[in-house]
A and B are shown apart, each in its own frame.
Chain A
Amino acid sequence: MKRYEIRIAGFGGQGVVTIGKIAGVAAALYDKKNAVQTQSYGPESRGGACKSEVVLSDGDIHYPKVRTADVLVALSQMAQDIYLKDLKPGGLLIIDPLTVIKDAPRADVRVFKVPTAEIAVAVGNKKFQNMVALGALCELTGVISREALEKSISENVPPKTLDQNLEAFKKGIDYVRK
């Protein structure tokens, strides 16, 4: 695999950085790829704009951030508005239709609407929304193996909530399979 760029964006508190980290660990330690994860957020601890990026490659990764994203996961309207322009033609846009209301103003990208928050609530808590998104990302891109991601989730979420996190992740996979 040459260079593959994932951008996840939303509000602070949605777990955007957490799934970036989980994806990075999975790719680097278990799938033995090179993976750089970066993040940016404002001074607010919750509610501000938040972005996390993961760049994957079999070779060296020099520039650590996204140049033109292969995938954009947008969990807020603002995230789609700001970052859609950096998505590759033919790229993948994963959105939550509850928060991203306006249709993407681009015909050259593939859009997948995944009700991440709704599915997460069914699992037990809206907090697991990020895991649903990660599941969808895993299934739709195939760039990081499911086994590696599950292993990484087990190591990076509080043990008490592990089962629910894994359940949310699986629901994300199942939803996009349909």
Chain B
Amino acid sequence: MSGNDETSFEPLLSDEEVQKVIRGPLPPGDYYLFGSDACVEGAIFAGCRYYAGYPITPASEIMERSAQRMPQVGGRFIQMEDEIASACSLIGASWAGKKAMTATSGPGFSLMMEAVSFAIMSETPFVIVNVQRPGPGQGYINSSQEDVMQARWGHHGGGPLIALAPSSVQEMYDFTVAAFNYAEEWRVPVILLADETAAHMREKLTVRPWNEMRVFNRFKPQDLKIAPAEFRPYDPYQGKTPPMPAWGDGYHVNVVGLVHHPDGNISKYGPEMHLDCVGRIHRKIEDHAEEIAQVEGRHLEGCRNLVVAYGSPTRSAFEAVLDLRTQGWDDLGFLRFKTLWPLPEKKIRSLVSEVENVFFPEMNLGYFIHPLKEALRDRVKRFVPIPSLGQLHSPDQIIAKIREVTGK
């Protein structure tokens, strides 16, 4: 660098502002924060040190905060040329040993599908935040839950992954931490399926003492005392996930998108090895659905009418349930999905016995009601979708539908 002492620049930050820079995760305490900012702080706490992205409303604020915060915590921020490059660079960062994240919305999420599929096959952990906007096409820029099926089925090959749906600023933080833990533990891409309402909301965030929060880091072969000569890159440890070395750790690192043997070899193809490889990748998640998935119920004992929700409509739905219960609706229960994928059929069936009606407000035309129908196929008389496009349901909208259907 050629020095020129006479050149003077106005500093980006004043001395006072420099003092305020937090050079680490957000310290424990209470904050009044924007949902998108809480998401980035959760990621930083979970150990994310790489962000690559391309801006899009309503997800751009996550990128802005990352651009500001990543350098402050020794991480890297890169604005990429598009969403394909953003998602693909997460794969590289992850194999370099870093926890990596990007955020996008509908159109960008579609472009990321190829990388998601590759990451499932190569068992590459990373987190994609999709702050959903309504579509199809460019749609609009307000709140939506229209990508709920795309998150699971949008990529080719149908491989399983994990998706979560936050509904508050606190959950934008907590669920992002959980997303990284899931990604690391199960070696899988994890989707934080947020919506504009939660991402653009300001609310109190309580950061708990750091030692009370759990952070999971991927197993590396060296931690498990596996010698480089004996290491087989896709051999699951204790039947769960294979340990994952980083480039430069001294292990044979084989990042494979083709059907492969446990040693990463792609030759000697046959239907048996195909089933072994892809079957294991499916079972890794789907056979542990009950352990991974989080579902929460309220007032389910003796419930005859059930309101189900996920993401921001959880808040409208729960308020509607409380309103009606104070008016004497003792048989009204509430079920909430914190995770969407994988779907825990046993857990749902253990919570819900025979009910008359299931009311399901979703900010789409009724998508997630289908897997729920399958899970509760013989237990429910009537499934009633309550759709809303481009706008969070009001409790009154939900109450009106419940009254209309039940005639009460």
- Interface positions of A (Cβ within 8 A of B): 20-21, 24-25, 28-29, 34-40, 42-43, 62-65, 67
Contact = CB atoms under 8 A, between A and B. Distances in A.
B378 interface: no
Contacts, number: 56
| Chain B CB within 10 Å, residue with most, of A36, A38, A43, A63 | A63
Given A63-B315, A63-B316, A21 B202 contact: yes
Nearest to A152: B32
Contacts of A28: 30, 32, 203-204
A157 to B, nearest CB: 14
Contacts of B197: 38, 64
Q: Interface majority SS on B: helix, strand, loop or mixed?
A: mixed
Nearest to B202: A37
A36 B318 CA distance: 16
Interface size class of B (residues with CB under 8 A): 20 to 34
Interface of B: 30-32, 57, 141-142, 197, 200-204, 312, 315-316, 318-319, 322, 392, 394-396
Contact of B315 (A25, A43, A64): A64
Given A25-B32, A63-B316, A63-B319, A38 B204 contact: no
Q: Which 7 A-B pairs have the closest CB atoms?
A: A62-B319, A37-B202, A63-B319, A25-B32, A62-B315, A28-B204, A28-B32
Given A63-B395, A67-B396, A38 B319 contact: no
| Chain A CB within 10 Å, residue with most, of B203, B319, B322 | B203
Given A25-B32, A63-B319, A67-B394, A37 B141 contact: no
B32 A24 contact: yes
Contacts of A67: 394-396
Given A37-B201, A62-B315, 16 more contacts: A20-B202, A28-B30, A28-B32, A28-B203, A29-B30, A35-B204, A36-B201, A36-B202, A37-B202, A37-B203, A40-B142, A63-B319, A63-B394, A64-B203, A64-B392, A67-B395
Nearest to B396: A67
Nearest to A43: B141
B173 to A, nearest CB: 15
Nearest to B141: A43
A65 B198 CA distance: 11
A151 to B, nearest CB: 12
A33 to B, nearest CB: 10
